[in-house]
Chains A and B, each alone.
Chain A
Amino acid sequence: MKVLIKAFLAAVASLAIGLGVTERLLRDGGPFDVVKIGPWNIATRAGAADADPYTRASLERSGEIPLALGEGLQLIARDDDQGRTLDPRCSYSIGPRAPSARYWTLELVDPDGFPVDNPAQRNVFRSSEILREADGSFTIWVSAAAHSGNWLPIGAARAFALTLKLYDSPISATSGGIERTSAPKIAREACA
């Protein structure tokens, strides 16, 4: 009897650990073919016909419609430059440059990749609409409280992620074409 209980507990634990690990690994395109540039992750094979089973499972599970390699690249950040998880109680500055692309957009999304409700009704900044310095550099402020300049509100999010989409970009993630310095930095400024 005692053995049966132990075996049952072991089975339950296995199921929980197995599912938990799977859930964690399938976020952001699985553990393979992901390139890291600073805090940004790129699932380089997302949507490719010969993608590995993790990448495929990740797409099928999320329901995401991937960007084709020829269309653009999607970078996802869940941590800041120091590796600390993005915290809605803190404010962040993002900049000063982005990799070369015809257009890019920066979005604030919840952990599942959906826009977050906020009073300012702003979920995205386009490269074609932001305020820039005279030298072309920019700063986008990510914070819960209103900020002057390019303010991307955190809104009601309890946890959030940032995505940077590079459209019609000459760089390819697979060749290591994105230099560390060209990806925008995510610097934590202050925490409430």
Chain B
Amino acid sequence: MKIFRALGEWVFYGIAVAVLSALVHFVVVLAIPLVATRDAYSSLSDLATPGQTVALPRATPGVRRFPFLDPAVATAFCRYDLSNGPVRVRAPLGRAGLTSISLHTRRGAVFYALTDRAATRGVLEAVIVTTAQLRALVAADDEDNPSQDLRIVSPTVDGYAFRRVFSELPSLYDAAEEEAKTLACIAETPPK
């Protein structure tokens, strides 16, 4: 009898540990986005103010900020803040190489991306807007002379544009970085 009681106790604690572990696991997974301080947006916010373009240091041993960055790809970013109006993201293409822009919310999600194949007249360009700003822009549009802008609605008021420029050879990295730095987040005057 004593054996059974001891066994029952083990089973009880086993189930309790399993249930509690699962609870801890789910709470941690759901809480991470709310409390993370090393997420990409927080790290980028330490490096630049909105509108400022900053090149990220090349992925080398010892630089431990943004994991899984490609040492063959030069990167630069600028933050946008839509609270004072739309923001125009502009990236002139330099060499005829692989380059792309991705638009990220502050929660890390990518909501739009453009590669150099989508460039018009040698420039990658998009206007980031909120839903309300898009409505105002559309209302203000001239019907006979419609805007040529690519308007992208951002799910959050702030976020960042990220540019990648591929270097085909190690010796081309510096040129790729110079090209990456031509990315710009320019505040637009809000529509009246």
Binding site for B on A (CB under 8 A): 6, 10-11, 13-15, 17-19, 21-22, 25-26, 47-49, 51, 53-54, 56-57, 59-71, 74, 76, 102-103, 105, 107, 109, 112-118, 123-124, 126, 128-129, 155, 163, 165, 167-168
Is B115 positioned at the interface, with any CB of A under 8 Å from its CB? yes
Q: A15-B24, A19-B24, A71-B115 are in contact. Are A65 and B69 (CB under 8 A)?
A: yes
**A76 vs B68: C-alpha distance when bound (angstroms):** 10
Judging by beta carbons under 8 Å apart, are B169 and A129 in contact?
yes
* Among B79-87, B101-109, B126-134, the stretch in contact with A: B101-109
Q: Which of B60, B67, B168, B169 contacts A112, CB < 8 Å? A: B67
Taking the closest CB of chain B, its distance from the CB of A54, in whole angstroms, is 6
* SS class, residues of chain A in contact with chain B: mixed
Q: A10-B17, A19-B24 are in contact. Are A60 and B30 (CB under 8 A)?
A: no
Judging by beta carbons under 8 Å apart, are B61 and A71 in contact?
no
Judging by beta carbons under 8 Å apart, are A168 and B109 in contact?
no
Q: A10-B20, A22-B25, A49-B105 are in contact. Are A123 and B71 (CB under 8 A)?
A: yes
Judging by beta carbons under 8 Å apart, are B170 and A129 in contact?
yes
Q: A107-B71, A115-B71 are in contact. Are A65 and B162 (CB under 8 A)?
A: yes
Judging by beta carbons under 8 Å apart, are B67 and A71 in contact?
no
Is B16 positioned at the interface, with any CB of A under 8 Å from its CB? yes
**A114 vs B25: C-alpha distance when bound (angstroms):** 26
* Among B35-43, B142-150, B182-190, the stretch in contact with A: B35-43
* SS class, residues of chain B in contact with chain A: mixed
* B28, B63, B75, B164, most chain A CB atoms within 10 A: B28
**A188 vs B111: C-alpha distance when bound (angstroms):** 40
Q: Which residues from B are CB-within-8-Å of A10? A: 13, 16-17, 20
Is B155 positioned at the interface, with any CB of A under 8 Å from its CB? yes
Q: A6-B13, A14-B24 are in contact. Are A60 and B110 (CB under 8 A)?
A: no
Q: Which of A69, A114, A155 contacts B64, CB < 8 Å? A: A114
Q: Which residues from A are CB-within-8-Å of B108? A: 47, 56, 59-60, 65-66
**A49 vs B152: C-alpha distance when bound (angstroms):** 14
Is B21 positioned at the interface, with any CB of A under 8 Å from its CB? yes
Q: Which residues from B are CB-within-8-Å of A113? A: 67-68
Judging by beta carbons under 8 Å apart, are A60 and B39 in contact?
yes
Residue of B nearest to A125 (CB): B72
Q: A68-B102, A167-B98 are in contact. Are A48 and B109 (CB under 8 A)?
A: yes
* B68, B69, B105, B107, most chain A CB atoms within 10 A: B68
Q: Which residues from A are CB-within-8-Å of B114? A: 70
Taking the closest CB of chain A, its distance from the CB of B23, in whole angstroms, is 7
Q: A49-B155, A126-B169 are in contact. Are A63 and B20 (CB under 8 A)?
A: no
Not counting A61-B36, A114-B63, A126-B167, a sample of 6 additional A-B residue pairs whose C-beta atoms are within 8 angstroms of each other reads A14-B20, A57-B30, A60-B33, A62-B38, A71-B115, A124-B70
Is B113 positioned at the interface, with any CB of A under 8 Å from its CB? yes
Instruction: Return 26 A-B CB contacts under 8 Å, by A number.
Output: A6-B13, A13-B21, A14-B16, A14-B20, A15-B24, A17-B24, A18-B21, A18-B28, A19-B25, A22-B24, A22-B28, A25-B25, A59-B40, A63-B65, A65-B162, A76-B68, A107-B70, A107-B71, A114-B61, A114-B63, A117-B61, A117-B62, A123-B59, A123-B60, A123-B61, A128-B169
